[in-house]
Amino acid sequence: MTVENKKGRFGKFGGQYVPEIVMPVLNQLEEAYEKYRRDPEFLKDLRKYYVEYAGRPTLLYYADKLTKYYGGAKIYLKREDLLHTGAHKINNALGQALLAQRMGKKQVIAETGAGQHGVATATVAALFGMKCKVFMGAVDIERQKLNVFRMKLLGAEVVPVTTGTGTLKDATSEAIRYWAAHIDDTHYIIGSAVGPHPYPTMVRDFQSVIGQEIRQQIQQETGGRLDYMIACVGGGSNAIGTFYEFKDDAQIKKFGVEAAGRGPAIGDNAQTLSNPNSRPGVLHGAYSYLAQDEDGQVIEVYSISAGLDYPGVGPEHSMFHEQGVVEYVGINDKEALDAFQLLCRTEGIIPAVESSHALAYLEKLMPSTKPEEVVVVTLSGRGDKDVQQVAKVLGEEI
Ligand SMILES: *Cc1c(COP(=O)(O)O)cnc(C)c1O
Torsion angle (degrees, nearest 10) of CA 36, 42, 48, 53: -60
Quick check: CB of 269 below 6 Å from ligand 1? no
Residue 189 lies in a domain: yes
Give the model's pLDDT for residue 327.
Answer: 98
Q: Ligand 1, closest atom to CA 234?
A: 8
SS3 of the chain = CEEEEEEEEECCEEEEEEEHHHHHHHHHHHHHHHHHCCCHHHHHHHHHHHHHHHCCCCCEEECHHHHHHHCCCEEEEEEHHHCHHHECHHHHHHHHHHHHHHCCCCEEEEEECCCHHHHHHHHHHHHHCCEEEEEEEHHHHHHCHHHHHHHHHCCCEEEEECCCCCCHHHHHHHHHHHHHHCCCCEEECCCCCCCCCCHHHHHHHHHCHHHHHHHHHHHHHHCCCCCEEEEECCCCHHHHHHHHHHCCCCCCEEEEEEEEECCCCCCCCCCCCCCCCCEEEEECCEEEEECECCCCCECCCCCCCHHHCCCECCHHHHHHHHHCCCEEEEEEHHHHHHHHHHHHHHHCCCECHHHHHHHHHHHHHHHHCCCCCEEEEEECEECHHHHHHHHHHCCCCC
Are 221 and 337 contained in the same domain?
yes
Are 257 and 374 contained in the same domain?
yes
Are 250 and 110 contained in the same domain?
no
Give the model's pLDDT for residue 397.
Answer: 84
Task: Report the chain (398 residues): mean pLDDT per 10 consecutive residues.
Answer: 83 94 93 97 98 98 98 98 97 98 97 93 98 95 92 98 87 91 94 96 98 98 98 98 98 98 94 93 94 88 91 97 98 98 98 98 98 98 93 91
Q: Compute the distance from residue 384 Cα to the ligand 1 centre, in Å.
A: 14
Residue 79 lies in a domain: yes
Quick check: CB of 82 below 6 Å from ligand 1? no
Give the model's pLDDT for residue 6.
Answer: 77
Give the model's pLDDT for residue 79.
Answer: 99
Q: What is the pTM of this model?
A: 0.97
Are 81 and 93 contained in the same domain?
no
Are 287 and 388 contained in the same domain?
yes
Mutate to test the pocket of ligand 1, among 88, 90, 204 (most ligand atoms within 8 A of CB): 88
Are 258 and 381 contained in the same domain?
yes
The CATH number assigned to the domain holding 319 equals: 3.40.50.1100
* Domain stop point among 165, 185, 204: 204
Residues recognised as catalytic: 89, 111, 380
Nearest CA to ligand 1 atom 5: 234
Are 82 and 182 contained in the same domain?
no
Q: Ligand 1, closest atom to CA 308?
A: 4
By the 8 A CB rule, do 245 and 211 touch? yes
Mutate to test the pocket of ligand 1, among 168, 192, 289 (most ligand atoms within 8 A of CB): 192
Domain that includes residue 283, residue range: 57-86+207-393
Residue 1 lies in a domain: no
Are 248 and 326 contained in the same domain?
yes
Quick check: CB of 78 below 6 Å from ligand 1? no
Mutate to test the pocket of ligand 1, among 89, 284, 308 (most ligand atoms within 8 A of CB): 89
Quick check: CB of 80 below 6 Å from ligand 1? no
Are 69 and 161 contained in the same domain?
no
Residue 3 lies in a domain: no
* Domain stop point among 181, 204, 227: 204
Are 137 and 253 contained in the same domain?
no
Are 96 and 69 contained in the same domain?
no
Quick check: CB of 378 below 6 Å from ligand 1? no
* Domain stop point among 176, 204, 232: 204
pLDDT in tens, 249-277: 999 999 999 999 999 999 999 999 999 88
Are 117 and 70 contained in the same domain?
no
- Our count of domains for the chain comes to 2
